[in-house]
Amino acid sequence: MKKLITLILMVTLIPAILAGCGSSSKTNSTSAAEEKKDTLEKAKEKGVLVVGSSNDAPFAYIDKDTKEFAGIDAEIIKEVAKRLGIQKVEMKEVKFENLLLELNNGNIDLVADGMYRKPEREKIALFTDIWYKQGEALVVPMDSTIKGIEDLKDKVVGAQKGVSFLELAQSLQKEGKIGRVDIFGSSADLLLATNTGKIDATLTDGVVAAYSIKKDPSLNLKMVSPYEAQASGKIAASARKEDKALVEAINKELAALKEEGFILEVLKKYGLNEDFYVPGKE
């Protein structure tokens, strides 16, 4: 009798066990399929592309008045996303020096924040074709007598952590052309320190400086002119190494935007001219 009851229980439980195994297999299969999808596919499905930026105008920032994602890089990537069928571009604020780290940790889909395409960065990220180019500016108080690098031997010069112009400033200091280099966390902090006399001058992003000085009348500053940039660079967006499909799609749309004149229009909107424009594929 006991053997009969045991046999009945086994016959009853086996289908349930098999069903459970089948469900687990199906779940694992679905999860694996989801993991195989690249960033472009996922962004299209979700309708959102998450872009990392340090929130520095005029590259990619949240406009205080409209609360919208704005700036040169922002307008370019939003137009590209729209053409790729991605409804929304969402900005996640990240310190500039941590942008590629956050990218490779999977916390953002793309970096678009006035970032130079450089060999050391290309080792850890996949860059798009060049969007535009720019260089550093020497910014001083309006009443300053500084007219160029040659006047900085005994001066305190500010530079921003994590950007190419800090390397330039430190290199000039080693050569004895700058008295001391003070490091700041943002372009805004740099300009404020220059404006209040905490430092004598700053070597900073020319695009940011021109835009900030024009936008904020409280900054009694000027860009030294004429001035020949020593650290000019070419700006692009960056993705994870495996996201080739995303980069190829962006490059295709970028080429069309250049051909249509869209990129140059955006540059002019933010006070830049043809000197900053890169017409072809690089």
pLDDT in tens, 215-246: 888 999 998 988 878 878 899 999 999 999 99
- pLDDT, tens only, 32-57: 455 667 999 999 999 999 999 999 88
- pTM here? 0.68
Q: Are residues 127 and 140 in the same domain?
A: no
Is pLDDT above 50 for 66? yes
CATH number at residue 191: 3.40.190.10
In 10 A of CB 101, how many CB atoms? 13
Is 73:110 a contact under the CB 8 Å cutoff?
no
Q: Are residues 86 and 211 in the same domain?
A: no
In a domain, 21, yes or no: no
In 10 A of CB 222, how many CB atoms? 17
Residue 174 — pLDDT band, cuts 50, 70, 90?
A: very high
In a domain, 262, yes or no: yes
- Where would I find the beta strands (DSSP E) of 105-146? 110-111, 126-127, 132-134, 136-141
Total structural domains in the chain? 2
In a domain, 12, yes or no: no
DSSP 3-state of 270? coil
> Domain range holding 112?
40-133+235-276
In a domain, 160, yes or no: yes
Residue 22 — pLDDT band, cuts 50, 70, 90?
A: low
Q: Are residues 73 and 194 in the same domain?
A: no
Quick one: which of 69, 229, 47 has its CA closest to 136?
Answer: 229
Question: What's the angle, vertex CA 245, arms to CA 97 and CA 265, rounded to 5?
Answer: 65
In a domain, 48, yes or no: yes
Q: Are residues 209 and 141 in the same domain?
A: yes
Q: Are residues 114 and 174 in the same domain?
A: no
Taking the C-alpha atoms of residue 198 and residue 246, their distance in angstroms, rounded to an integer, is: 44
In a domain, 30, yes or no: no
